[in-house]
Structure 1
Amino acid sequence: MPSTVQGLLVLIVGALPGFVFVLARRRRFPAMPESLLREATQVVAASLLACLASGAVLSVAGWVGVPAPHVRAWILEPRLYLADNLGLLAVWTTTGLLLAVVGAAAAGRYLPSPRGRIRPSSAWWDSFQREPDTCGAAATFVRCHLNNGSYVAGTLESFTSQEIPGHPRELVLEAPLTFRPSWDEKEVPMEGNRIIVDAERIMFTQVGYMIEDPRRAHRSRRTEPDAAC
């Protein structure tokens, strides 16, 4: 750990690209909470790669004629060179940091997620966000089978993207809403515009992607949705 204020400041600034990368990645690909060691490793690795890439861009800029610091003189006489070239160093340091942060944010946002049967992302996010976006669905139909034998169904409005310890996950369904009680096989319409479903009550869910959004038609009854993908 740094023992001075300057050392702490350098640590925070140096780790900033990694923090931005991890935040951008979590925003696009929500996943289960990871250990502090793994998150710290991701931050350090992302910061290092972003700073190296930024340094490479600045090196090319200096090579093509843009006024640049003299690295050898800076290393041999750091205090003297800093005093004589403070403005130039400030501009290049700020530019390098901005390039690293912007590059880390772009990488976290646009790099594809890992493919395969085992994924670190949330199954809810994959089913409710990634797949509808991939196939261009207009709406997502969700039928939640509850632990008392009944089920509720509706059009997905929102959901908790990742699990937070101590806070149950929820999803919100919009009208048209239907309900089937545990003692009956007949599905009946529900009143209201929205219903909030607690994840702890759900046994399993059925998900369908629709070509047309049923909320626009204001129907009182739902039929099985047409598949969009």
Structure 2
Amino acid sequence: MPTTITGLALLVVLLLPGLTFVMIRERKGSERRTTPFRETGVVVFCSVLSEIAVLVVFAILRGLRPDLTPDIGRLVREGAAYARAHYVELAWWAGGLLSLACLLAAVAAAITAGKPHSSVTSAWWVMFEKWFPGENPLVGCILENGAYVEGRLASFNVSSDDLPDRDLVLVEPLKYRAPGEAETHDFPWGATCISARRIVTMFVSYPVEQGAEAEVEVLQASGPAAS
């Protein structure tokens, strides 16, 4: 850990873009937890890439409009004397470049977070997000006691590990079949939360697209019944 203010500032500059990348990917995606060493490597690697890209942009601006950018040559040669004389300008540029690096990392995370490989995601993520992203599928669950619950998917735990300690939320129209019964009945409630630990089998029915539905109607109209 850094023991000086300068060291702490350098640590923040180095890690903040990568930390932004990791946090956004965790919120928008589903990937298996890695070792601390690998996760630290991802943070540092993303930070370095983002900051290199920002420095390239700064170098281009410096070449085009040197009057608008700090004189890096003088900063290197004069050091603290130049920094004290132009501390406001340097602070604004440092904050702006760091913010731009974080923005680049956030955009990269948002673009890549929704497309994790199936090998690093859970079965729930594959069924609910990978195959038909953004849909609102109908989900039916057979529980360990033989009961059956059906409803529209509202939310699910995006953890990449297929663990029993997570929940699935279904909303109306809800249907329920008690253990030992043969008929499924409407359940007059707005939502239900089901523990993954109690689920034995899950069925998922995806909404039919309008184009596909229209095609089905045309085929039915032109079939034997239409004649």
Same fold? TM cut 0.5: yes
Partner Cα separation in structure 2 for residue 37 and residue 28 of structure 1: 22
Partner Cα separation in structure 2 for residue 59 and residue 110 of structure 1: 26
Question: 3-state DSSP class of the match of 1:204?
Answer: strand
Question: 3-state DSSP class of the match of 2:155?
Answer: strand
Quick check: 2:138–2:151 contact (8 Å CA) kept in 1?
A: yes
Deviation at 1:167, TM superposition (A): 9.1
Question: 3-state DSSP class of the match of 1:195?
Answer: strand
Partner Cα separation in structure 2 for residue 6 and residue 39 of structure 1: 25
Alpha-carbon displacement from aligned partner over 1:14-64 (angstroms, at most 9, x marks no partner):
211111111111111123333222221111111101100111111111111
Q: Which moved further from structure 2: 180-189 or 98-107?
A: 180-189
Q: Which has the higher helix share?
A: 2
Quick check: 2:164–2:196 contact (8 Å CA) kept in 1?
A: no
Q: How does 1:62-77 map to 2 (within 5 A)?
A: 62-66=62-66, 67-77=68-78
Identity %: 31
Deviation at 1:112, TM superposition (A): 6.0
Quick check: 2:118–2:126 contact (8 Å CA) kept in 1?
A: no
Return closer, same or farther for 1:156/1:112 CA change in 2, 3 Å cut-off: closer
Alpha-carbon displacement from aligned partner over 1:129-173 (angstroms, at most 9, x marks no partner):
44443xx63x21011121223321111112222279x99211111
Quick check: 1:163–1:169 contact (8 Å CA) kept in 2?
A: no
Q: How does 1:176-191 map to 2 (within 5 A)?
A: 176-191=173-188
Q: How does 1:107-118 map to 2 (within 5 A)?
A: 107-111=108-112, 113=114, 116-118=117-119
User: Which position in structure 2 is the counterpart of 1:89?
Assistant: 90
Quick check: 2:29–2:116 contact (8 Å CA) kept in 1?
A: no
Quick check: 2:157–2:168 contact (8 Å CA) kept in 1?
A: yes
User: Which position in structure 2 is the counterpart of 1:202?
Assistant: 199
1:162 aligns with 2:159: yes
1:172 aligns with 2:173: no
Partner Cα separation in structure 1 for residue 143 and residue 28 of structure 2: 29
Q: How many residues align?
A: 208
Question: 3-state DSSP class of the match of 2:137?
Answer: strand
User: Which position in structure 1 is the counterpart of 2:79?
Assistant: 78
Deviation at 1:180, TM superposition (A): 2.8
Deviation at 1:116, TM superposition (A): 4.9
Aligned Cα root-mean-square deviation (Å): 2.6
Deviation at 1:2, TM superposition (A): 1.3
Alpha-carbon displacement from aligned partner over 1:59-106 (angstroms, at most 9, x marks no partner):
111111152223233223211221232233222211211110111111
Question: 3-state DSSP class of the match of 2:180?
Answer: coil
Quick check: 2:139–2:203 contact (8 Å CA) kept in 1?
A: yes
Return closer, same or farther for 1:85/1:18 CA change in 2, 3 Å cut-off: same
Gaps of 5+ in 1: 213-225
Structure 1 counterpart of 2:58, which letter?
Answer: L
Deviation at 1:117, TM superposition (A): 4.4
Decide which structure has the larger Cα Rg and report it.
2
Question: 3-state DSSP class of the match of 1:174?
Answer: strand
Return closer, same or farther for 1:125/1:93 CA change in 2, 3 Å cut-off: same
- Deviating runs (4+, > 4 A) in structure 1? 112-117
Q: How does 1:133-152 map to 2 (within 5 A)?
A: 133=133, 137=135, 139-152=136-149
User: Which position in structure 2 is the counterpart of 1:221?
Assistant: none
Partner Cα separation in structure 1 for residue 103 and residue 126 of structure 2: 26
